Structures are given as C-alpha cells and as structure tokens.
Structure 1
Amino acid sequence: MSSNTRLNSAFENSQTLLFDDSSKFIFFSDCHRGDNSFADDFANNRNIYFHAIRHYYKEGFQYCELGDGDELWENIHFEDIFEAHKNVYQQLREYHLNDRLHMIWGNHDMVYKDPDYVKKHLSSYFEPIDESNKELFKDITYHEALILQHRDTGQQIFLVHGHQADWWNYIFWRWARFLVRVLWKPLQVWGIADPTSPAKNYKELIKVERRIKKWILNHHNLLTIVGHTHRPRFAQPGEIPFFNDGSCVHPRSITGIEISKGEIVLIKWQIATKEDGTLQIVRVVLEGPRKLADYHKN
C-alpha cells in the first residue's frame, strides 16, 4: 500500500465539518504528552500550552488536535499521562462538553483508532480524593482525518496527521513503538534521538513532505494541514497549499495554526521577558494572516 493510497483512504473516509467566516479553529499537534519523567518532552512547555488552550477556549475557538497528542509509545498507560497533566485534560474536557473538541490520531497514539480502547481509557478517570470515577471524554470519537468545508464557498480543508506518507510509522507502528519503549526512550534521557523519526531525521522529513505535496497536487491543490514532522510550514498563495502546524515540543515554545475570520495564520506561543524583568507568555505571528479564499480553486 503506497502513501498515496493511504492518504486517499483517509480522505475518502473523513467526516466533514461545516464552517464559515465566523468560525474559529486552533490546530495543534505533536504534543507528545508524557508522564512528566525526564523523557517527557511536553513537560518543558506544559505551562505555555495550558495558557494557550485556555486562551483559545475563552475566545470561542474550536480545538483540533492533528495527532500524537498523547505519547503512547514511550508510555503504556494513559492514566500515567493523565495524572501528570491533569489540568490540561480538564481544560480539553471543557472543549468536549461544548462540542468544540476534534481529535485525530497519529502514529504515537494510533491505539485511538480502536473505539473500544478509547471508550475504556478516556471515558472516565478515578479521582482518589473522593474515591470515585468521574466523567472525562464521554462518547469522544478519534478520527484518522477530517475535512472542513466552507458553508458558502464549498472550499475544503483536509486535516490529517501525515504519517500516512511515512510507511515505517504507519505500517510498522507497533514495531516502532516497541523499539521506542525498549531502546530509544532510555537513550533519549542521555540526549540520543530516535533516527527513525522524521522530526529528528531531515532526509526522512523531506521525503514525507514531498509525498504529501504530490498527493495535494493530485487532488486539485486541496489545502491540507498536517503535523508529524514537527516542522512548521506555511504556503503562500500560488504555492502548493501544504501547511504544517509544527509541534508543542519545540525548545521553549509551541507552534500552531489558527483559522478565524476566513483567514489562516501560523503562530507561536513562547515565554518573553518584560522590561521589569517579569516573565509572560506571549503569542507571536510567524506567517500570515492570509485569506483562505486565496487558496480556493473554483
């Protein structure tokens, strides 16, 4: 099965969500939320991330996670991740309760493709304070991909993690997970990166991006937003409309993509120093905004 076939399958089986120029979305991916151990890359940015998702919730955004939200290769149990970052999941639960949470699975949380697994592990959690089970993400659905479709123009935006263009991390993900758990996680503590990851292997990253761009061209320049490689990408009008929201495990910052007022923008959240020496978390525009209509082919 080729990457083109895998992407076709994801697209053809996607649920469609309608939106318009009043809709507001924030896209994050590759959070790799872990257990707060030395191998948990997310832990360094958890305060930045929590501030950002709380900001977007207050501003009425819908939250869309494009895969690898939970690090379930290095960690066996979701419960350990939940306990490490409980405040994050409680905020995501607020999105879910208001029908503003859209989740896509990636290679590191590919177990979420199984609805029974999701129901068993994500529906509720045990609260030791009063020794009771409490609701978490009741009836949540994880998708392989989603399509946003504009109510007025019909423009479509394809949302997918992107590992469909990475045969090792899609076909052999169980082997990759095994190697990460027994080999690369212990070595990561010593600063040795996993060479099979496109985020750490530049040549593999280029190959993955090239395959996705080829697929986009074959689908009439369909605007596509992915994650997986951790490299933020923002296309200009006239270029192949390939976008990547980056990751939430960059050193001292997280990146994402916003859609609001019919525009798309690549942003970064980071810690900055004020003139009085105090620290604050700030939002920085990296690329855009650009009108979505500039990428629409009639």
Structure 2
Amino acid sequence: MSTYERLTEVLELAEEIPYNDSSKIVLMSDTHRGDNSWADDFAHNENLFYFALEYYFAHDFTYIEIGDCDELHENRRFEEIRQAHSDVFFLMRDFYNDGRLHLIFGNHDIVRKDPKVVERTLYRYYDERTQRYEPLFDGIEVHEGLVLRHWETSKRIFLAHGHQGDLLGETLWWLARLFSRHLWRHLQLLGIRDPTSPAKNYKKRRIVEREYIRWVKSQDLIFICGHTHRPMFPKSGKPPYFNTGSCVHPRSITGIEIESGEITLVKWWIRPRSEEGGVLYVARDVVAGPEKLSSFFP
C-alpha cells in the first residue's frame, strides 16, 4: 500500500484523545535511545533531553512520543536500553503514572505493534537492588496513530510516525532490522551513513515529505509526524504538515508544543553564557511560532 493509503487506514483506526485550549502537550520523536555504546545516537543528548522532560513534567505537559524512540533495530534487548537510560525511563514513568504519557511506534520500534511484545518489555522491569519485578509502564498501549480532537470544535490533529507505506520501513521492516543490527550498526562506528533512511538521504526525504503534503491536502486536519528528522512548521495558508524533527542532532533536540490553543516548534540546546565567563546552560529557543492552531485547520 502507498503512503497515502496507509495514512488513511491508520487515521480511521486511531484512538482519539480529547483536548482543549487549556491543554498542554509536547510531542517528540526519533530519540533512538540505544545501549550507551558508540553506536547510540541518543547518548550525547541524554542530559539535554532529561532536562527538557523535567521542564515539561513540572509545567504539567502531556508527553507524546511519535515513534523511533527506542532503537530496537540495532539493539536486540530493550532491557539494555532501559538500563543505559534508566533515569529517562523513570521520569517517563512519572508522566505515565500521572496519566500524561502516550506512545506511538515507528519503523525502528515496529515490534511494538505486537501487544505481547509491549507487555513483555514495557509493563515491568527487573530491579537489581530489590531483586524483584517492579512496574514501569504497566498496562500501557503503544499506538500506530493517535488523534487529538478538540472538545468544542471537534477539529482533529493526527499523529503518526510517518513510516507508513515505506517498503523497507514497514513492509520489509525485518530486513531493515537485519541490516541495521548486523551491518549499519558497525558501519556507523566508522562514520558511514545509511542511504536507505530518509533521515540521512536528502532525495528520499523530499519524496516522503511530498507524500505527506499530498495526503494532508485531502484531509480536514493537521498532520504531525517524525521519521525524516527534519523539523517542519508550515507558513499560514500552506498544507498543515508539521514535523517534530529529532533528538539525535549533534547539538540540539527539537519538539512541538501545543499550549493555550497555539502550536510552537522549539529547540533545546546547550549554549555558553558569555556574560558569566562562558558558563554552559540549557536553553529553550523558539524556532517557529507560536501560531494559533485554528489558523492551520482547513
């Protein structure tokens, strides 16, 4: 099936989450959390990500991950990822216990389309200190897509990773995993990029983005996804396709905030404070917006 057909199919089956103008939601994707080895693209941004997530927890945001957040192509066991980034997962557990965490799977964590995999790996973990199993995200569902529907207007925001319809990313995902686990993981250590990934192949990325735009033009909603690693925030009057970017950029992470009926693309990065002798601090910068969500709905 094509990207157009698959996105339509996922939309029709997507669970709905109500929101209104007082809702506070942050969307991130493509963290690619790994095992803290040299091949872990997330490791260098872990502190940055944790700081941002603490900010969102303290400010009562709901956190939604839009796929490819755990690197399960390159890594065989999620438990190794959880141990490598345990502080992050414990903070995410705080969101979950507060009813403020939702997960969507992408192509690199596509195994989570199987509820049995989710139950086996995410419901609980083994605590070495207490030597017993403790709850992590007990009872969580991992979705292929979600719809945010406004309480008053019924306007919809559709969330999906964006790999739908991709031959290697979806249909032959097991083959892509084989390459990632046994070939690209090792070549990555040598600095060689994966040419099959839209995140690292400019031509393929442009083709994928054109498909997103063609699809969203036929819908009466806003579409937010990840997958390409390229942040997108359309100008007013343009097709309402947004992209969260990624959390694996060498110097920053990006995400999309929805607050007070407005949408904003933000960047978190480490910058020097020259007036304090070059002391480094974590900064949140607005890349685009804020703009009224209502201005993007058809």
Shared fold by TM > 0.5? yes
SS in 1 for 2:164: helix
Aligned 8 A contact 2:240 2:297 in 1: no
Aligned partner of 1:280 in structure 2 is 281
When structure 1 is superposed on structure 2, of 166-175 and 199-208 the one drifting more is 166-175
Q: C-alpha distance in 2, partners of 1:237/1:166? A: 29
Tell me the equivalent position of 1:293: 294
- CA distance in structure 1 between the aligned counterparts of 2:235 and 2:258, rounded to whole angstroms: 15
Q: Match for 1:282: what amino acid?
A: A
Relative to the length of structure 2, the TM-score reads: 0.98
Larger displacement relative to structure 2 (161-170 or 197-206): 161-170
Which residue of structure 2 lines up, in the alignment, with residue 254 of structure 1?
253
Alignment of 1:211-250 (within 5 A): 211-220=211-220, 222-250=221-249
Distance 1:49 1:202 in 2: 26
Query: SS at 1:41's partner residue?
Result: coil
CA distance in 2, matches of 1:30, 1:199: 10
- Structure 2 match to 1:86: 86
2:140 match? 140
Q: Is 1:269 aligned to residue 274 of structure 2?
A: no
Instruction: Supply the AA of the counterpart residue of 1:190.
Output: L
Query: Counterpart of 1:70 in 2: which secondary structure?
Result: coil
- Matched to 1:288, the amino acid is G
What are the Cα deviations for residues 37-61 of structure 1, in whole angstroms up to 9, with x where unaligned?
Answer: 0000100100000000111000000
Task: Give 1:193 deviation, angstroms.
Answer: 0.7
Deviations 1:84-117 (A, max 9, x none): 0000000000010011001000000001111111
Q: Distance between the aligned counterparts of 2:137 and 2:81, measured in 1?
A: 15
Structure 1 residues 139-178: aligned runs within 5 Å? 139-178=139-178
Q: How many aligned positions are there? A: 296
Aligned-residue CA RMSD in angstroms?
0.8
Q: Tell me how far 1:188 sits from its aligned partner.
A: 0.1
> Which amino acid counterpart does residue 235 of structure 1 have in structure 2?
P
**Other-structure match for 1:201:** 201
Structure 2 counterpart SS, 1:17: strand
Displacement after TM superposition at 1:165 (Å): 4.2
Partner of 1:60: 60
The letter of the residue matching 1:291 is: K
**1:5-16 equivalent positions in 2, closer than 5 A:** 5-16=5-16
SS in 1 for 2:238: coil
Q: Any conservation in 2 of the 1:163–1:169 contact (CA below 8 Å)?
A: yes
| Amino acid corresponding to residue 33 of structure 1 in structure 2 | R
Matched AA of 1:164: Q
CA distance in 1, matches of 2:17, 2:99: 12
Secondary structure of 2:27's aligned partner: strand
Kindly indicate whether the alpha-carbon contact (under 8 Å) linking 1:27 and 1:257 is maintained by their aligned counterparts in 2. yes
Tell me what 2:29 maps to.
29
Aligned partners of 1:135 and 1:168: how far apart in 2? 34
Specify the alignment match of 1:115 in structure 2.
115
Cα distance in 2 for partners of 1:295, 1:182 equals: 43
Secondary structure class of the residue paired with 1:90? helix
The answer to whether the Cα contact below 8 Å between 1:165 and 1:208 also exists between their aligned partners in 2 is no
- Larger displacement relative to structure 2 (127-136 or 94-103): 127-136
Is residue 30–residue 246 contact of structure 2 (8 Å, CA) maintained in 1? Answer: yes
Asked if 2 retains the 8 angstrom alpha-carbon contact of 1:28 and 1:66, the reply is: yes
The question of whether the paired residues in 2 share the 8 Å contact of 1:165 and 1:212 is answered with no
TM, length-normalised to structure 1: 0.98
Deviation at 1:278, TM superposition (A): 1.5
CA apart distance, 1:279: 1.2
How far off its partner does 1:168 sit? Answer: 2.0
Q: Deviations over 1:116-167 (max 9, x none)?
A: 1100111111111121111100000000000001111111101000001423
Supply the distance in 1 between the matched residues of 2:219 and 2:253 (Cα, whole angstroms): 30
CA deviations 1:145-203 (Å, max 9, x no partner) are: 00001111111101000001423211111100100111110000010011100000001
Q: Could you tell me which amino acid in structure 2 is paired with residue 243 of structure 1?
A: F
Counterpart AA for 2:143: H
Q: Please say which of residues 58-67 and 167-176 is displaced more in the overlay.
A: 167-176
Asked if structure 1 preserves the Cα contact closer than 8 Å seen for 2:165 and 2:171, the reply is no
